[in-house]
Amino acid sequence: MPATPTNPLHPRIAALPKAELHLHLEGSIRPATVVELAARYGDSLTLDQAGARYCYSDFRGFLEAFKWVTSYLRQPEDFELIVDRHADELISQNVVYAEFTVSIGVMLYYKSDPLKNFAAMLRASERALRKGLRLQWIFDAAWQFGPAAAVEVVRLAIEARGAGAVAFGMGGDELMFPYASFREAYELAASAGLRLTAHAGEVGDARKIRDAIELLGAERIGHGLAVMHDLALQDLLAERGIALEICPTSNICTGALASQLGRPSARIEEHPARSFLQRGVPVVLSTDDPAMFHTDLSAEYALAPRLGLTDEQVLAIIAAGFSRSFLATSEKESWLQQLRDRTRDAGDFRSPAA
């Protein structure tokens, strides 16, 4: 179950423009939308049945649920629908910029046409932009599909780069292959000007994070929980300005935090986000798969008191969402200036109940 916030999000924090950088498009599909998608293909599914598939206690269970949800994404119109739905959710939370991670590797697995699907997503993206939400795209290959499949995803990202694909990343089962196996894919992506991300140290150890940085050239790390065990690696992240994309509710729901702590369960108060910030590691706050973890970005920020974050740290995380994004420098600076202007005289952001 998600780590439900005990304090509401302070209105001043809620009103600030925000960016979300670790957001899987397919993980944003709410159960009601799965019911709608299933009906398109003659599968009678109740809301309760769909909701039951969103309950799991470990990372393997989450991967199985993710596989089931994505099985209903079969036509470009399906992808257009889910972008529309989640864009509206983000806009309602004052999210002005998001980087959607799209599971291109899964599309290839299902023998779907990624570029046709992407064209449909772009139609929804244009509608979102008119409402105030700027979207860019990370083409994702799953570790478990292997190095050759990753290269194929990179080639598609290169083809789509002019249309808004800005980065290449990898998620999924980080324990399947050594990261060195994926150097060709990452080198090809870098040579084409794509930005680089990698999920690492979610359930794997700190060596996965180091390999993602030193072997693959990752500029941001998805999750990175295992860095809690390696202070030297924390210092490396701080020195190079490599941000950790922290997803607290996800880390509870998948059992990733409990696994890193070596225990059967964990509490949100034990999350190491605060210690990372104290060490100088850049941190951005994200939802990962918001529908599948029963959360949204406002709920993640509302967890700040339980994470032990100060007002200043929360504001630093909001700013990092822009400064560590894959936006052009001029766009980053524009949003950061807006944040500076809006927070200069804002006073104390703590909730009256805190």
Which whole-number Å values give the CA distances from 151 to 26, 46, 147, 212, in the listed order? Answer: 21, 39, 6, 16
Beta carbons within 8 Å of 130's beta carbon, 6+ residues apart? none
- CA nearest 80: which of 145, 42, 135? 135
DSSP classification of residue 324 = T
| CB-based contacts of 343, cutoff 8 Å, min separation 6 | 16, 315
| Catalytic annotation present for 202 | yes
Residue (of 99, 2, 106, 15) closest to 54 by Cα position: 2
Helices 183-191, 147-160: inter-axial angle, 10-degree rounding: 10
Nearest-angstrom CA–CA distance, 340 and 218: 29
Q: Rg for the chain (alpha carbons), in Å?
A: 19
Distances (CA, A) of 230 to 149, 171, 243, 252: 31, 22, 16, 21
Contact 87, 131 (CB under 8 A): yes
Longest Cα–Cα distance of the chain, Å, equals 56
Q: Which of 80, 202, 245, 300 is catalytic?
A: 202
Question: Which residues form the catalytic set?
Answer: 202
